[in-house]
Amino acid sequence: MTIENNVERSVFDEVMVPCYNPMEMIPVKGEGSRVWDQQGNEYIDFAGGIAVSCLGHCHPAMVSALTEQAQKLWHLSNVMTNEPALRLAKKLTEVSFAEKVFFANSGAEANEAALKLARRYAADTFGPEKSEIIAFKQGFHGRTFFTVTVGGQAAYSDGFGPKPGDVTHLPYNDVEALKAHISDRTCAVMMEPLQGEGGIISPTDEFAQTVRELCDKHNALLVFDEVQTGNGRTGHFYAYQGLGVTPDILSTAKSLGGGFPIGAMLTTTKLAAHMKVGTHGSTYGGNPLACAVAQAVVDVVSQPETLQGVAEREALFRQGLAKINDKYHIFSEVRGKGLLLGAVLNEQWQGRARDVLVAAGEQGLMVLVAGVNVVRFTPSLVIDKRDIEQGLEKLDQAIASLVASNA
């Protein structure tokens, strides 16, 4: 028996670093919002690879962009530029406030670039004293040491020795706490314009506007981490467009590549000028394959029909989840925006989000959690409406089985 022919879940425990706890089944094929495992079992995908597969699996536009580019040119490094990177950058400046784009390979790297730019700009413009980064509790910005430190969950950032300094965490949506703390020493405020990993928490309008005003007052940069909210997820191309608050720097990844690794930091010409030759870089950043796929994704997602379709699908999810809740009384609320939705477990179901995930898996449905009390849905933005219906039926059955085993 050679390992090439026979890989199963136990091989994970044998040869993989154990920082994940993957499900038992191993998916081998996907199409649209359907996925099949090694045994041929079919799943409906409400997880979308954690808000990544925004056009579902193997969308024809992505497959053709990838295969066409694969015949032409794979990699150059940033010693040269390339056509797909230039086209994608231009497109991103057309669909957002951005005038300048820096490419990376992940969300964490896009945020790392954002934080370094913010620090460099403040140091160049105002001097070394202006280095404080304000971020928010429960926030998530990635797993590099700087980004995990700026993220607001000690469980992820502690136990690795001394952290990058001068990072302050305040409660999200707390206008008074921010007013009381921000000062001329603040270099940047970094936030998600809807907290994803932290439990699907939307900012209040007042909070979003106040953050912008206070940043302006104190010459601090506003950095929006749109790694999860970006690329159509909330029904706007970027979530800031629905908030009416424009950041100075925006990071994007996840859905940007639709399943191919890419990230980007977007900013203005004025700020970008502080990233001079040699100040930052990435070997793979702006890779032609990644940029060709991302351009195909952005072309489809930025169409008004696609964005309009997100709102229609959100309504279907909300109706279906309300119906399930009428039957089983398991959720206290459904929150979030567009296809970044969280069903919050009520008092009786505290801590059991993972039970719902596992029960759903047994019914052939893939969902996510956001913390221990929120079941999270981040499906494809173009998920077939029948798949939504059938997936919700499976969720109904999964919850019915949990209720039955509780009784």
Ligand X SMILES: *Cc1c(COP(=O)(O)O)cnc(C)c1O
Residue 376 touching ligand X (CB under 6 A)? no
Shortest distance in whole angstroms from residue 304 CB to ligand X: 25
How many residues are given for the chain? 407
Shortest distance in whole angstroms from residue 132 CB to ligand X: 20
User: In this complex, which beta carbon is closest to ligand X, that of residue 148 or of residue 334?
Assistant: 148
User: In this complex, which beta carbon is closest to ligand X, that of residue 225 or of residue 387?
Assistant: 225
Three-class SS of residue 344? strand
For ligand X, which stretch binds (CB under 6 A), given 55-63, 74-82, 225-233, 315-323?
A: 225-233
Contact 16, 5 (CB under 8 A): no
Neighbours of 234 (CB within 10 A): 28
Residue 192 touching ligand X (CB under 6 A)? yes
Contact 181, 134 (CB under 8 A): yes
User: In this complex, which beta carbon is closest to ligand X, that of residue 254 or of residue 394?
Assistant: 254
Q: Phi and psi dihedrals of 102, rounded to 5?
A: -120, 130
Three-class SS of residue 319? helix
- Binding ligand X (rule: CB under 6 A), the pick from 47, 245, 253, 298 is 253
Closest CA to 253 of 52, 50, 47: 52
User: In this complex, which beta carbon is closest to ligand X, that of residue 117 or of residue 399?
Assistant: 117
Distance CA 286, CA 290 (A): 7
- Binding ligand X (rule: CB under 6 A), the pick from 112, 197, 355, 396 is 197
User: In this complex, which beta carbon is closest to ligand X, that of residue 143 or of residue 218?
Assistant: 143
User: In this complex, which beta carbon is closest to ligand X, that of residue 34 or of residue 337?
Assistant: 337
DSSP string spanning 86-132? HHHHHHHHHHSS-SEEEEESSHHHHHHHHHHHHHHHHHHHH-TT--E
- Binding ligand X (rule: CB under 6 A), the pick from 44, 167, 201, 227 is 227
| Known binding-site positions for pyridoxal 5'-phosphate | 107-108, 140, 225-228, 283
Closest CA to 59 of 27, 26, 34: 34
Contact 273, 243 (CB under 8 A): no
Residue 106 touching ligand X (CB under 6 A)? yes
Subset of residues 265 to 324 that bind ligand X, contact rule: CB under 6 A: none
Distance CA 108, CA 205 (A): 26
Distance CA 317, CA 381 (A): 12
Shortest distance in whole angstroms from residue 137 CB to ligand X: 14
For ligand X, which stretch binds (CB under 6 A), given 25-33, 175-183, 189-197, 346-354?
A: 189-197
Q: List, edge to edge, every strand of the sheet that includes 365-366.
A: 27-31, 34-37, 42-45, 365-366
Distance CA 221, CA 72 (A): 40
Q: Phi and psi dihedrals of 271, rounded to 5?
A: -75, -40
- Binding ligand X (rule: CB under 6 A), the pick from 48, 142, 247, 258 is 142
Shortest distance in whole angstroms from residue 317 CB to ligand X: 19
User: In this complex, which beta carbon is closest to ligand X, that of residue 56 or of residue 230?
Assistant: 230
How many amino acids of this chain bind ligand X (CB under 6 A)?
15
Residue 342 touching ligand X (CB under 6 A)? no
Shortest distance in whole angstroms from residue 235 CB to ligand X: 17
- Binding ligand X (rule: CB under 6 A), the pick from 62, 89, 108, 375 is 108
Residue 82 touching ligand X (CB under 6 A)? no
User: In this complex, which beta carbon is closest to ligand X, that of residue 151 or of residue 320?
Assistant: 151
Residue 141 touching ligand X (CB under 6 A)? yes
Residue nearest to ligand X (CB): 107
Three-class SS of residue 315? helix
Distance CA 19, CA 210 (A): 38
Amino acid at 307: L
Q: Tokens 């022919």 label which residue?
A: 5
Q: Which residues bind ligand X (CB under 6 A)?
A: 106-108, 111, 140-142, 192, 196-197, 225, 227-228, 253-254
